[in-house]
Structure 1
Amino acid sequence: MRRLIPTGEAARPVEFADADRPVPEPDEALIRVEAFAPNRGETFLLDRPRPGLLPGKDVAGRVVRQAADGSGPGPGTRVVGHPPLGGWAEYAAVPTHSLAVLPDGVDSVRAAALPLAGITALRLLRAAGSPAGRRLLLTGASGGVGHYVTELAAAAGAELTVVTATPARGERLRALGAAEVVHEVAAADGPFDVVLESTGGPHLATALSKLRPGGLLVWFGQATRTPATLDFFGLLGSPEGVTLRHFHYAGAPYGPDLETLVRLVETGRLHPEIGRVADWSDTAAVLVDLRERRIRGKAVLTTEAAR
């Protein structure tokens, strides 16, 4: 089979290589991949790839071999999955607890855009507590996670202010339910009950200052790739008694959350924001554009199996 492997070159981060089909563990199904969606964080791993790195965590396709332990869907079933690695290939081994069955109404392209960004959005909002009736601020809202958080939080009754770089992206976020759109964190009109912060650098301290006394800041990313520095004495001038919480989406089995996301898409309550769909022969160029923020929302690559 063919798979994409890192090159270590910024202008051409991946290339095709021949490889054996993966041999699934007893609790893994073998999936023929029809579509996969790279994440911007994965583009950073390709800058200096570690030996043996096989990227790819968001896939959709069909089961060709059921897990040997009998768990999970049978052969021929359409699925979306979140493997730990190796999804940028013709075949991928996926733990059955990280799979969800796809109904006829959800195609592989939209399904592939769901796993990492969608699971992150669901778990991020759970970490923040019930959004209903609360004022939320979301930084770095233009990416895949930001679009899902916006739609989910607005539907749950939050008054959401989003920070995004351009008016065009802001218009789409308004359509998904954002109450206010600003282009700098400093311009957000606080105070907020919860801040969801994903950019790092100097923006973290500014976002923290936008909280009400007793508010919560959930820090879930560092898209600027610039370390954040907080001055202890500067914090004394911030709202009293705020909580700063680090968040990472990984943890419990992903299957139940994937089932939730698929159901929301099927019923028209969640709309994957896909900025580009391309053949996987164009993956290297798409990765560069994703890294350089030239794609709004998600990018999805399709393989020969999708045709």
Structure 2
Amino acid sequence: MQRLIPTGEAARPVAFAEVPPPVPESDEALVKVEAFAPNRGEIFLLDHPRPGLLPGKDVAGLVVQAAADGSGPGIGTRVVGHPAQGGWAEFAAVPTHSLAVLPDSIDSARAAALPLAGITALRLLRTAGSLAGRSVLLTGASGGVGHYVTELAVGAGAELTAVTATPVRGERLAELGAKVVHEVAAARGPFDVVLESTGGPDLPLALSKVHPGGLLVWFGQVSRIPVSLDFFQLLGGPERVTIRHFHYAGAPYGSDLATLVRLVEQNRLHPEVGRIADWTQTAATLVDLRERRIRGKAVLLVGGAR
């Protein structure tokens, strides 16, 4: 079968290789991949790929071999999945606990845009707690996670302010019901909850805008700049603020994937796909994602799938 593997080259980060199909473990289904969606974290890993790296955590396709232990969907079932790796290929072995069945109304391209960003958004909002009537600040809101957080939080009754770099990236967030600003300094607090993903100087600034007794959830550092906090500056800021570190990872993912699928089917969640291309265009698409030339998710179709 064909698989995309890292090259270590910035201009052409992946290339095709002919490899044997994966051999599933007893609790894994073999999925014929129809579509996959890269994530920014995977793009960073491609800058200096470790030996044996097989990218691909967000896939949608068709089960062609059911799990030997009898768990999960049967042959011929359309699914969306979140394997640990290996999804940028014609076939992927996916644990059945990290699969969800797709209805006919959701195509593979939209489904592939759901897993990592959607699961992150769901779990992040659970960490934040009930948001009805609460003021929320979301930084780094222009990516896939930001889109899903915005739609879900506004739908839950939050008064959400989203920080995004440019007016173009903010248009869709405003349509979803967010108040949009283009730098953290412009956000008018205080906020009950801050969801912070940029790091660097933005986190201390966002922290200063938390309501006394409020919560800051730190879930990323897309600026790639480490955070420095000054204890004495905190003394003059809001009191009793809780800072929580958050990372989405932790299988099983199947129930969260099923929730995301249900929300899309009910027209309550709308994946933002900025580009759909054949997987022969993966290398160029990865470069465009790295350079932020694509708004929303990019989805690659495998073997002419639609």
- The equivalences for 1:118-129 within 5 A come to 118-129=118-129
Give the aligned residue type for 1:282.
Answer: Q
Do the aligned residues in 2 keep the contact of 1:33 with 1:305 (CA within 8 Å)? no
Do the aligned residues in 2 keep the contact of 1:136 with 1:195 (CA within 8 Å)? yes
Structure 1 position 171, deviation (Å): 1.5
String of CA shifts for 1:68-124, please: whole Å, max 9, x gaps.
001000011000000000000000000000000000000000000000000000000
Give the aligned residue type for 1:225.
Answer: R
Alpha-carbon distance between aligned partners in 1 of 2:2 and 2:51, rounded to the nearest angstrom: 19
String of CA shifts for 1:180-204, please: whole Å, max 9, x gaps.
1100001000000000000011101
1:248 counterpart residue number: 247
String of CA shifts for 1:249-278, please: whole Å, max 9, x gaps.
012410000000001001100000111111
2:294 counterpart residue number: 295
Alpha-carbon distance between aligned partners in 1 of 2:304 and 2:171, rounded to the nearest angstrom: 35
1:5 paired to 2:11? no
TM value normalised by structure 1: 0.98
Alpha-carbon distance between aligned partners in 2 of 1:103 and 1:173, rounded to the nearest angstrom: 27
1:51 paired to 2:66? no
1:100 counterpart residue number: 100
1:216 counterpart residue number: 215
Alpha-carbon distance between aligned partners in 2 of 1:60 and 1:237, rounded to the nearest angstrom: 50
Runs of 4+ in structure 1 over 3 Å off? none
Give the aligned residue type for 1:209.
Answer: S
Structure 1 position 37, deviation (Å): 0.2
Do the aligned residues in 2 keep the contact of 1:139 with 1:196 (CA within 8 Å)? yes
RMSD of the TM alignment (CA)? 0.8
1:201 paired to 2:200? yes
TM value normalised by structure 2: 0.99
2:26 counterpart residue number: 26
Alpha-carbon distance between aligned partners in 2 of 1:199 and 1:84, rounded to the nearest angstrom: 24
Structure 1 position 20, deviation (Å): 0.5
Alpha-carbon distance between aligned partners in 1 of 2:54 and 2:9, rounded to the nearest angstrom: 15
Do the aligned residues in 2 keep the contact of 1:32 with 1:305 (CA within 8 Å)? no
1:239 paired to 2:241? no
Deviates more, 1:229-238 or 1:277-286: 229-238
Alpha-carbon distance between aligned partners in 2 of 1:306 and 1:282, rounded to the nearest angstrom: 14
1:275 paired to 2:268? no
Give the aligned residue type for 2:280.
Answer: S
Give the aligned residue type for 1:194.
Answer: V
Alpha-carbon distance between aligned partners in 1 of 2:188 and 2:242, rounded to the nearest angstrom: 20
1:133 counterpart residue number: 133
2:153 counterpart residue number: 153
Give the aligned residue type for 1:255.
Answer: G
- The number of equivalent residue pairs is 306
- Where does the alignment leave 5 or more consecutive residues of structure 1 unmatched? none
Structure 1 position 305, deviation (Å): 5.5
Alpha-carbon distance between aligned partners in 1 of 2:161 and 2:248, rounded to the nearest angstrom: 22
Alpha-carbon distance between aligned partners in 2 of 1:238 and 1:23, rounded to the nearest angstrom: 55
Do the aligned residues in 2 keep the contact of 1:35 with 1:61 (CA within 8 Å)? yes
SS in 1 for 2:53: coil
Alpha-carbon distance between aligned partners in 2 of 1:272 and 1:176, rounded to the nearest angstrom: 12
Deviates more, 1:258-267 or 1:169-178: 169-178
Structure 1 position 235, deviation (Å): 1.4
1:225 counterpart residue number: 224
1:285 paired to 2:291? no
SS in 1 for 2:217: strand
SS in 2 for 1:256: helix
String of CA shifts for 1:21-56, please: whole Å, max 9, x gaps.
000000000000000000011100001000000010
- Where does the alignment leave 5 or more consecutive residues of structure 2 unmatched? none
Structure 1 position 144, deviation (Å): 0.2
String of CA shifts for 1:148-196, please: whole Å, max 9, x gaps.
0000000000000000111122121011121x11000010000000000
1:35 counterpart residue number: 35
1:163 counterpart residue number: 163
SS in 2 for 1:284: helix
